[in-house]
Amino acid sequence: MKSSYDLIVIGGGAAGLSAAQYGARANLDTLLVEEMAPGGQALLIDGLENYPGLPEPVNGYDFAERLRSQAEGFGAQFLTASVSSLRKEGKAFLVTTTEGELTAPAVILATGSKHRHLGAPGEERLSGRGVSYCATCDGPFFKGKRIFVAGGGDAACDEAQFLAKLTDKVTMVHRKDRFRAQRSLAERVLKNPSIKVGFNTVIAEIKGEKKVEAVVLEDTVTGARTEVGADAVFVFVGSIPQTGLAGEAAKDEAGFILTDDHMATSIPGLYAAGDVRATPFRQIVTACSDGAVAAHSAAQYIDELRGEGYR
Buried b vs exposed e over 209-218: b needs ≥16 C-beta within 10 Å? Answer: eeebbbbbbb
Q: Is 20 helix (H, G, I), strand (E, B) or coil?
A: helix
Tell me if 173 sits within 8 A of 202, measured CB to CB.
yes
Q: Distance between CA 227 and CA 250 in Å, rounded?
A: 44
Phi-psi label, residue 75: left if phi above 0, alpha if psi -120 to 50, beta otherwise: left
Q: Distance between CA 228 and CA 277 in Å, rounded?
A: 38
- Which one-letter DSSP state was computed for residue 195? E
Tell me if 92 sits within 8 A of 5, measured CB to CB.
no
Q: Distance between CA 110 and CA 11 in Å, rounded?
A: 5
DSSP β-bridge partners for residue 85? 96
Q: Cβ–Cβ contacts within 10 Å for residue 291, how many? A: 31
The contacts of residue 304 (CB under 8 Å, 6+ apart) are none
Phi-psi label, residue 32: left if phi above 0, alpha if psi -120 to 50, beta otherwise: beta
The contacts of residue 266 (CB under 8 Å, 6+ apart) are 248, 249, 250, 258
- The secondary structure of 21-87 as a DSSP string is HHHHHTT--EEEEESS-TTGGGGG-S-B--STT--S-B-HHHHHHHHHHHHHHTT-EEEE--EEEEE
Residues recognised as catalytic: 134, 137-138
The one-letter amino acid at 169: K
